Structure 1
Amino acid sequence: MFHPFHVEQFLSELEHGVKYNYSESGVHPMKVEELIKLTGLDPNTIWSTVLDYPQVNGSTLLREHIAKMYEGADAENILVTAGASEANTLVANTLLEPGDNMVAFRPIYEQLTGDVRNRGIEVRYVDLDPYNDWKIDPQALMDAVDENTKVIHIINPNNPTGQVVSQEERDAIIAAAAKVGAWIVADEVYIGTERDTDEVTKSFWGDYDKVVVLNSMSKAYGLPGLRLGWMVAPKDTITASWRRHEYATVAATTLSMRLAEAALAEPARGLLVERARRLIRTGFETLTEALKVHQGVFTVSPPKASAMSFIRFDLPVDSETLCRRLHAEQDVLVIPGSRFHVENHFRFSSALPEAHLREGLNRLNKVVGSILETA
């Protein structure tokens, strides 16, 4: 049985041409000219690039830049992929076989979980607590694993809630994985998007011997159009994934790798992270201000990181109806919580230019006002 990717299906159907798009989960994307200016890259380097097949596992320079982010890693621990989406697919194809199961935390961006389910492999969900900042229940996690659990999947910082696991939660994940010899697959695409601190979220890399980390240029760096991501893993796992990568995409693109090399070299990488945090912090302040217009309607656990908030609402409509009305009546796009299997919520991305953000929030409040008037 095929399981559609509910979030991406919603976006594919509605995002084209929408004027006020708050459905994306990264910071406002950069233009090529902005990236070239920030990195100091000579434009002639781009114009003179030969559009040949690139190094299949990622250019050596790019993998070296990536490896510097992960203590103890080197270029041989890195595989460059066509976005984190391909990296997720490689995990499903490399680490899991029929008869295995995977444990994941919900709400979750269901890319890896959907891919795994479509391969006929069981996914066991541990539900996060919406009334306690979406925290993990360590006992529920331990109860979910067994001798057939091969992967525990964590998105940290989380999508859609923006929460970051505590040390206690981290220890619980490692303990559960160690109990059954499972892999920890950590999607860390939102590291660098911290809202309330300049301290970078700790990677799972180095905390346990069976860890695969996934990341990309899309979220913290504001470069989703590069469609470039990576895996960090033990070298034999990278080799096994590389063999499957050759079937999937062969390689990421030459130009994407060249631009990513420039973006991940210091000081450019640090400047991109500063830009992301500035947009995230300012945008969240604007969002929380707008959510107060209709008292008692909206509540949100402030995200510790990421460009988005998972907002709870108290209205006499379900999340799909609310989001469809926003799109039809006000040309505003947000993602209903039902697409994450959580009702009475929607995901809203606020790391955007101020004027554009405020206009969309005004339109959101118009629809809410209309609903309240007719309730």
Structure 2
Amino acid sequence: MRIDPFQSERLLSLWQNKVDYDFTETGVHPMFLHELVSREELDEIYASVQLRYIQTDGPPPLKEAICGLYEACGHENLLVTNGSAEANFLAVWHLVEPGDRVVAVLPNYMQVPGVARGFGAEVVPVYLRPEHAWGLDLEELEGAVRPGAKILYVTNPNNPTGAILSAAEMDAVVAAAEAAGAWLLADEVYRGAELDGESSPSFWGRYHKTIVVGGLSKAYTLPGLRLGWVLTDPELAATLWGYHDYTTISTNAVSERLARLALRPEVRARILERNHTISKRNLRGLSDWLAAHGDTFNFVPPRIGGVAFVGYNLPLGSTELVMQLLQEHSVLVVPGEAFGADRYLRIGYGNPRLLEGLALINETIERLRASM
């Protein structure tokens, strides 16, 4: 099996922990442990957690906490994974055979398209359109999801645009998948990050061949826990559990306990309120900075916290621009090319040093504008 380079993750792997200004996070700046747990709770974990293999599909108390986020969710519907990335991988690994048709709504996090191509699938794009506030092209969707398609892949809320599908768009996605007999793979890891504080609807329960992926990395800003899940029908959940035996076997005992704490209703509310407050403040700063540059940038304001997809009018491609910012100022953003949309930058605006980094980017922007 040969795989395409995973452009966004390769960039982050090489540079994220080396730069002075990391604006690649697609959520608010991650929490510190002391923000999540009290000293008393930490002492209890220290005294009680045994560093052993835990229940490999997810311990019942954790499954109970996750089910609290959905309607009509049973333990048999869930498989707990090491991050949502493993959840996506297991689904594609099981479902895709050489020659299968996988329809992907783009721009998007490119793990599923990359892995699907690696397994021999034909990946067919359907686009969100910036001229429609990153709305879904419904005619293109209907034409792409043909009978026999294996997977229709969508991330909602969306990475990198920060858009959220409307009720009509969600209905159209379900109808297209159902008409084709395709599995609907819905990555919902950003649910809870909505700037208006209202959690967007889930695809769960709308169609019997639905796979919902979730996790604690984005809306909860706890990526270091590496805690995700698959929510689907019991038969498929059991099958994917068997595939999980070949990958990471189980999550870890410490992350499992911390995840249970994070999902307590009162703690979850506190985490989301923290993230909404930071996001709203920083988005104002980013919006003002973009507006000050006139027609250099074009921007559809995101509807979720932490991530913005910003178009630009400058005489170079997005990867080249990103490397210049990295080399000149130790500022890291993600090129739109990594999402199939060049002349865009994905800016993670949840960093507390956002305004400092934007001031440095100014220098490069002004130099490039002067050369036009």
TM-score range, shorter chain: over 0.9
User: Aligned-residue CA RMSD in angstroms?
Assistant: 1.4
- Residue 307 of structure 1 pairs with residue 306 of structure 2: yes
- Note the 1:77-116 alignment, pairs <5 A: 77-116=77-116
- Note the 1:162-241 alignment, pairs <5 A: 162-195=162-195, 197-241=196-240
Residue correspondences, number: 371
Distance in 1, matches of 2:5 and 2:320, equals: 20
Give the structure 1 partner of residue 154 of structure 2.
154
Deviating runs (4+, > 4 A) in structure 1?
A: none
Give the structure 2 partner of residue 256 of structure 1.
255
Q: CA deviation at 1:68?
A: 1.2
Secondary structure at 1:302 match in 2: coil
Distance in 2, matches of 1:331 and 1:315, equals: 20
- Residue 369 of structure 1 pairs with residue 366 of structure 2: yes
Distance in 1, matches of 2:364 and 2:179, equals: 50
Cα deviation code 1:315-335 (max 9, x no counterpart)? 122211211111111110001
Give the structure 2 partner of residue 2 of structure 1.
3
Distance in 2, matches of 1:279 and 1:254, equals: 30
Cα deviation code 1:48-97 (max 9, x no counterpart)? 31101111011110000001111001122111100001001111122222
The one-letter amino acid of 2:297's match is: F
Secondary structure at 2:178 match in 1: helix
- Note the 1:112-131 alignment, pairs <5 A: 112-131=112-131
- The answer (yes or no) to whether the contact 1:41–1:262 under 8 Å persists in 2 is no
| TM-score where L is the length of structure 1 | 0.96
The one-letter amino acid of 2:362's match is: N
- The answer (yes or no) to whether the contact 1:36–1:43 under 8 Å persists in 2 is no
Secondary structure at 2:186 match in 1: strand
Greater displacement, 217-226 / 126-135: 126-135
Distance in 2, matches of 1:126 and 1:309, equals: 20
Distance in 1, matches of 2:170 and 2:74, equals: 24
Distance in 2, matches of 1:45 and 1:10, equals: 35
Cα deviation code 1:84-128 (max 9, x no counterpart)? 010011111222223321111111110111111111111111122
Cα deviation code 1:293-352 (max 9, x no counterpart)? 322111210111141100011112221121111111111000111111212110001112
Cα deviation code 1:231-275 (max 9, x no counterpart)? 111111100000000111000111110100111012111111111
Secondary structure at 1:70 match in 2: coil
Give the structure 2 partner of residue 28 of structure 1.
29
Distance in 2, matches of 1:61 and 1:308, equals: 32
Distance in 1, matches of 2:120 and 2:150, equals: 14
Distance in 1, matches of 2:325 and 2:147, equals: 46
Cα deviation code 1:210-231 (max 9, x no counterpart)? 1111011100111100111011
Percent identity between the two aligned chains: 38
5+ unaligned residues in a row in structure 2: which ranges? none
